[in-house]
Amino acid sequence: MHELGIDEALGPMQALASRLWSPQSRHHPGQLAWSARYAEPQVLRHGPVAVVHGRDGLDAWAWLESSDWLELCVDPQRPELVAELVAWARGRTGAGPSTSVLETEHHLLSGLATAGYVETDAPWFTHHTLDLVSLRPPTVPPGYRLRAVRPGEAEARAAVHRDAWSVTSRVTTRAYERLMATPPYRHDLDVVVEHADDGLVASCLAWLDPATGVALVEPVGCVPEHRGRGLAGAVSLAALAAARDAGATLGLVCPRGDDGYPVPGRVYRGLGFRPGPRTLTLAAGDPTA
Ligand SMILES: CC(C)(COP(=O)(O)OP(=O)(O)OC[C@H]1O[C@@H](n2cnc3c(N)ncnc32)[C@H](O)[C@@H]1OP(=O)(O)O)[C@@H](O)C(=O)NCCC(=O)NCCS
């Protein structure tokens, strides 16, 4: 096992996520790109990554996304690595950072339980999938049009994301430029709704993993003044259609599953996405107990 910075580790981390991907696993290369790049580095203050090499790339990694949050990805054939990586994270932080796994990742759940981790009450996410063969065509009301983001349009693209999400969003122009340079980002899968007078008003970024054919939708947004007109649905369908045309066979999206924020899940299920496994959040118990 050795330690890397996130910039150096990201590619190998994505490769392992891709190799292990199934509807029962949590990580997708696009989610990792978004998590690593959605804000500028001095704002994100990401911690180090511990990586374990196998015969063909990595067999496991653990990322201290922050001082109190750990992301874990371990080949189910090497379950013993969970304990090693959790011990590393504990040593690095002086305490046990919390983490999240999919309920179907039994090797992680078992290793974390042995390391003293316990399930905790926290917002959770439900992975949803959609067979792209049955994708409906997108439609927008008069006055709006769907189109892909253009290279050099990072400023307007970051602004529509911020306007949809919140004024506290940390997606700056500079951050979006870095994101656009991060594989597997593609301009043709980054779709916006443009209004005749108001400019960009909704957006959806799809990330295609060519190895698995899975296109992850992350994130989707519509500015408050234009909500309730079907734009989030339409822009998601358009991004998924672009991904399908580029070779994707399955759509993936991971909205909140708890009752605290139910609208996005409704939007995606309205497009035909079907719910699968949910995430569980685990907190470190007392290692001396
Ligand atoms: C969630 C969000 C993207 C929805 O945008 P939108 O353009 O208003 O959504 P749409 O008009 O396409 O709605 C699609 C469906 O969701 C339903 N819906 C949308 N907002 C809703 C609300 N506040 N309450 C109940 N249902 C709602 C619509 O009725 C529609 O259902 P229908 O197809 O059966 O009519 C938007 O509110 C937003 O940007 N929120 C902040 C960012 C965010 O949470 N993104 C998603 C995270 S994964």
Name the DSSP letter for residue 23.
Answer: T
- Determine the straight-line distance between the first and last CA of the chain, rounded to whole angstroms: 27
The answer to whether the 2-126+279-284 and 128-276 domains have the same CATH topology is yes
How confident is residue 288, by pLDDT bands cut at 50, 70 and 90?
A: low
Pocket of ligand 1 (CB under 6 A): 164-165, 202, 219-222, 227-233, 255, 263-264, 266-267, 270
Cross-strand bridge partners of residue 217: 206
Residue with the two structure tokens 């009301």: 141
**ω before 219 within 30° of 0 (cis)?**
yes
Tokens encoding 96: 């046990």
The topology under which CATH files domain 128-276 is Aminopeptidase (3.40.630)
Q: How confident is the model at residue 287 (pLDDT cuts 50, 70, 90)?
A: low
Q: How far apart are CA 183 and CA 244, in angstroms?
A: 18
Tell me the average pLDDT of the chain. Answer: 96
Res. 95 pLDDT band, cuts 50 70 90: confident
pLDDT over 80 (residue 223)? yes
Best residue among 165, 195, 225, 267 to mutate for probing ligand 1, ranked by most atoms within 8 Å of CB: 267
pLDDT class of 166 with cuts at 50, 70, 90: confident
Query: For the domain bounded by 2-126+279-284, which CATH number is listed?
Result: 3.40.630.30
Strand partners, 131: 250
Residue 289 has pLDDT above 90, yes or no: no
Report residue 49 CA to chain centroid gap. 17
State the Cα–Cα distance between residues 221 and 201, nearest whole angstrom.
Answer: 8
Taking the domains of the chain in order of start, what are their residue ranges? 2-126+279-284, 128-276
On the question of pLDDT at 286 being above 80, the answer is no
Residue 44 and residue 224: Cα distance in Å, rounded? 26
Cα separation, 103 vs 278, whole angstroms: 6
Distance of alpha carbon 120 from its chain centroid, rounded? 21
Banded pLDDT at 168 (limits 50, 70, 90): confident
Strands (E), 16-160: 49-53, 58-66, 69-74, 98-102, 117-120, 126-131, 144-148
Asked whether residue 229 carries a pLDDT value surpassing 70, the answer given is yes
Q: How far is the CA of 217 from the centre of ligand 1 (A)?
A: 15
